[in-house]
Structure 1
Amino acid sequence: MQDFLDAFFDPEIAQAAWPILWLGFQKTVLLALTTVPLGLLAGLVLALLSTRPERWVRWPLVGFIDVFRAIPPLVLLILVYAGLPFAGLEFGAWGSVAIAFMLNTGAYYAEILRAGIESVPRGQAEAGRALGLRPWQVWVFIVLPQAVRNVLPDLIGNTVEVVKLTSIASVVALPELLFQARQAQSATYNATPIMVAAVAYFVLLWPFVRLLSRLENRQLASRR
């Protein structure tokens, strides 16, 4: 038992590795604060366009969403980081992660928001227009608030997955939490830094997981 504790929960190694793990944690939070809004914005634009009645607008966007939902995010990140430079487009590690995540998570957010928009009865928009509201006012004040409320648990759940997905940024040597933990592990030949990183992810995401559970339970209660 003591060998297990020394290999995975050594307090001295945890204390020594904490400074670089803290830097990685800050980078992870900053990365999440960048990629989540970008994905939401891209998803909202795609959702609005994919619900338009014109087929020549809707079908290409549906195909675009399906493609980027099907491509594994790690493969997409490597393509952006290592493939685009051959086309003369080089964004660096941070830019590549932001672009790859925007394409991948934007596709998932788009599908969630599209479902939310389609769940709002058309009579709501028609009533808004009958009251003299402009089209953008109908969307901003009537359709989108109801759409977001209807799919809020899915949005939060996807956001939690996006934050966890930031760990793959270590593949392109972006010094986020997992990258720093692996560096510390290599230096100490001990898995304690990885366990500390796991605890840090838990502390970061647990409030959102609890919020998601409350929203899901509330939705189940409202359906009874």
Structure 2
Amino acid sequence: MSIEWIVKILQNNLPMFLRGAGMTLFISIIGTLIGTLIGLLVGVIRTIPVPDRGLKKVCLKIVNIILSIYIEFFRGTPMIVQAMVIYYGSAQFLGIDINKIVAALFIVSINTGAYMSEIVRGGIISIDKGQFEAAQAIGMNHFQTMMNIVLPQVIRNILPATGNEFVINIKDTSVLNVISVSELYFQTKTVAGNNYRYFEAFFVTCILYFIMTYTVTRILRAFERKIDGPENYIMAGNQMQVERPEDILQKTKDVVA
């Protein structure tokens, strides 16, 4: 490895690296946000209680089967294969010419949604059943119970997993180079090919990926601590004056005297 070549590559190609990193972050952020919304929606639908009989039971079973197929397919196949099938397959079989960026956002979003739906479902199941029963006792339906009681707790509980999915998406966007999306990996291949210095170019890219993932991880952990709040709470209107041990001892001496 030549330090001089690393410096030279950075000097001559820094705008390309930055454009690639910017595209990687853009696709990762939008894809994770949309995927999380998909996961929340799918997770809520899959936890709707199925009645014993009637049309509602049939409809829910059909919907659950469709959602299960969606989850298992996108969790069970690599994103690089999904990208090839969706982008090139839609053009070949459906005659639809999808914009590369739109295709990339769609692929990352639905892939993330499949993983997040299981994370959300697990978060909902982890909530104590007594809270569901209490909500039902005061007349809340499933949607009201989710919006007012369950989901606020679930969102907090799944925040670390959501952050982990975001970090994974930052790295996994590199597979989108197969549909010629100009993310960081694609730009690095161009730089390396122009200079015939593959090791130095990809070493720079390795550092850039690490900076992005490390920064995102630190920000998310700080956000988690902010949501948790302080470790000790004082109830409003019920503040108690805590006396020091020496004050208590002095009062005891005064009483005895």
Q: Report the TM-score range of the alignment, normalised by the length of the smaller protein.
A: 0.7 to 0.9
Q: Report the counterpart of residue 73 of structure 1 in structure 2.
A: 79
Q: Report the counterpart of residue 201 of structure 1 in structure 2.
A: 209
Q: Report the counterpart of residue 143 of structure 1 in structure 2.
A: 150
Q: After the TM superposition, which of the residue ranges 51-60 and 139-148 deviates more from structure 2? A: 51-60
Indicate yes or no: 2:13 matched with 1:5: no
SS at match of 1:10: helix
Percent identical = 30
Distance 2:207 2:179 in 1: 23
Q: Report the counterpart of residue 126 of structure 1 in structure 2.
A: 133
Which amino acid is 1:80 matched to?
A: I
Q: Report the counterpart of residue 100 of structure 1 in structure 2.
A: 107
Deviation at 1:5, TM superposition (A): 2.6
Distance 1:44 1:10 in 2: 44
Indicate yes or no: 2:1 matched with 1:33: no
TM-score (norm 2): 0.74
Instruction: Report runs of 4+ in structure 1 exceeding 6 Å deviation.
Output: 211-215
Which amino acid is 2:209 matched to?
A: Y
Distance 1:52 1:138 in 2: 11
Deviation at 1:88, TM superposition (A): 2.3
Q: Report the counterpart of residue 244 of structure 2 in structure 1.
A: none
Counterpart pick for 1:152 among 152, 159, 178? 159
Distance 1:154 1:30 in 2: 20
- Contact 2:44 2:146 (8 Å CA) reproduced: no
Q: Report the counterpart of residue 117 of structure 1 in structure 2.
A: 124
- Contact 2:27 2:108 (8 Å CA) reproduced: no
- Contact 2:34 2:113 (8 Å CA) reproduced: yes
Deviation at 1:32, TM superposition (A): 1.5
Deviation at 1:28, TM superposition (A): 1.3
Which amino acid is 1:67 matched to?
A: F
TM-score (norm 1): 0.84
Q: After the TM superposition, which of the residue ranges 72-81 and 45-54 deviates more from structure 2? A: 45-54
Q: Report the counterpart of residue 65 of structure 2 in structure 1.
A: 59
- Contact 2:29 2:166 (8 Å CA) reproduced: no
Distance 2:6 2:166 in 1: 32
Aligned length: 211
Unaligned runs of 5+ in 1: 216-224
What is the RMSD of the two structures over their aligned residues, measured on CA atoms?
A: 2.2
Deviation at 1:125, TM superposition (A): 2.6
Unaligned runs of 5+ in 2: 51-60, 225-257
